[in-house]
Structure 1
């Protein structure tokens, strides 16, 4: 009889725990850093949260429209824009500390000497840059009066680069290691392009509760150092390997960044 009582208590505890678990839906296949950061933000709550992974969400435009929907997701992450902040509720904390706005050029190795002598954007206006038509930096480069040729596939663009159809392809430092691993190409050694860019977490506009939970969790992670610790675990070696600190920075304006971005809070941004 006593054993049965213990068993019933145990079953009740397990049922209560399962019932109290709250699930937050996210897109499957995301970068581990983003998922770990979301879990970190949720961990500051008394309730137990668990991520539920949703497959077959092919595009960012599709993902943001599925926020809060029955067969959709609860959290979306992307480079912010005026349009996206109108469509969804943003947690205005740049989760990769602006690192996505740092670009290194793919060039022909034989042209390295030409680039090594440059240090100002005015010297780069005579070069031709290949950018995919739907990359956010396509319009940024055009807006900064740089000559841009659009392409549709990176493999085709690399062939155009080799045949000197254009001089360089800017690649995000977050994507560069995979590009260099997948293609036989060369990364320019001296320059680092930069424009302010913020990747935010977004939730459905009506979901003020989840917005508050994520905002408070990320703020607490900043205060206790866990945000920076997680960032360094994923990106410190990358920053070292690409010699970002030693490169000459070329700054571009980004008028597509909403003025609400917290650019004045240096704690939120990586600066070389």
Structure 2
């Protein structure tokens, strides 16, 4: 069944009529369903389509790709979706679903460090002291631009796996991760002998969105509409906050005992829904 391409609605109506498809196939060339972020967006898409009485089928090719390659595949129509922290370029090149998939939690950054450096950063209380350290981040990540704009020294790599090796080798001091990420990474990489830094939290508004290929505007419309319905009935919040990695992070982060550095994010576009408080978690 064909769909007529149209602009994304500003707000979905529970009574909006969308014809059900006999089958919606979503191809994802890059990434594996077993990784937490990819598994999370699959759950979100299943949730969105459940509101529309549609059953999606995922065609996962399971190739490892850099962000730039993954974006290229979406532009060409070889792949249908990806998730990423947003940038103006991504929003221009792809179709963004402007609903933060983790309610902004990826903008609360806690660092992965070498275990032998545990306690080394307890004295850091000012931005000037933070600027003496070196941070690892991905090439092209929004985080990289944000940290550099704040005057922090950043070592970059296009390969996230290489960043773990670079941290272990001492190429930088800290590898800031989204709030729900570092504890699981310590478990997954025991040979690296990493630890979660206990004294610093870097915070900035950083939505991660589902992005859809410009070749699939009908898919973008369906995902957006279904997620809006899930927000309205509370099931979106339930799914996000029930995520085991989110629950673990909220339990272990000990945010009140950390020095919090609030940074500006000038990379956000004017369409970012910062004023819609229902889309964000506030950990202050």
Give 5+ residue unaligned stretches, structure 1: 1-18
Q: Does 1:205 align with 2:208?
A: no
CA distance in 1, matches of 2:42, 2:278: 21
1:115 touches 1:190 (CA, 8 Å); kept in 2? yes
Q: What does residue 222 of structure 1 align with?
A: 231
Q: What does residue 261 of structure 2 align with?
A: 250
Q: Given the alignment, which residue of 147, 150, 168 partners 1:158?
A: 168
CA distance in 2, matches of 1:113, 1:47: 51
Q: Given the alignment, which residue of 32, 37, 40 partners 1:29?
A: 32
Q: Does 1:62 align with 2:69?
A: yes
Q: Against the structure 1 CA distance between its residues 140 and 68, is the aligned structure 2 distance closer, same or farther, given a 3 Å change threshold?
A: closer
1:104 touches 1:170 (CA, 8 Å); kept in 2? yes
Report SS of the residue matched to 1:55. Answer: strand
Q: What does residue 251 of structure 2 align with?
A: 240
Q: More helix per residue: 1 or 2?
A: 1
CA distance in 2, matches of 1:260, 1:111: 40
Q: Does 1:174 align with 2:177?
A: no
Q: Offset of 1:190 from its aligned partner?
A: 2.1
CA distance in 1, matches of 2:105, 2:79: 25
What count of residue pairs does the alignment treat as equivalent? 248
What's the CA shift string for 1:206-236, capped at 9, x where partnerless?
5332222111111111111111111111112
Q: Offset of 1:143 from its aligned partner?
A: 0.9
2:118 touches 2:195 (CA, 8 Å); kept in 1? no
CA distance in 2, matches of 1:42, 1:266: 24
CA distance in 2, matches of 1:97, 1:240: 17
Larger displacement relative to structure 2 (213-222 or 135-144): 135-144
What TM-score results when the alignment is normalised by the length of structure 2? 0.76
Q: Given the alignment, which residue of 118, 127, 151 partners 1:145?
A: 151
Q: Which has the larger radius of gyration?
A: 1
What TM-score results when the alignment is normalised by the length of structure 1? 0.79
Q: What does residue 88 of structure 1 align with?
A: 94
Q: Given the alignment, which residue of 242, 266, 272 partners 2:277?
A: 266
RMSD value over aligned CA atoms?
2.7
Report SS of the residue matched to 2:74. Answer: coil
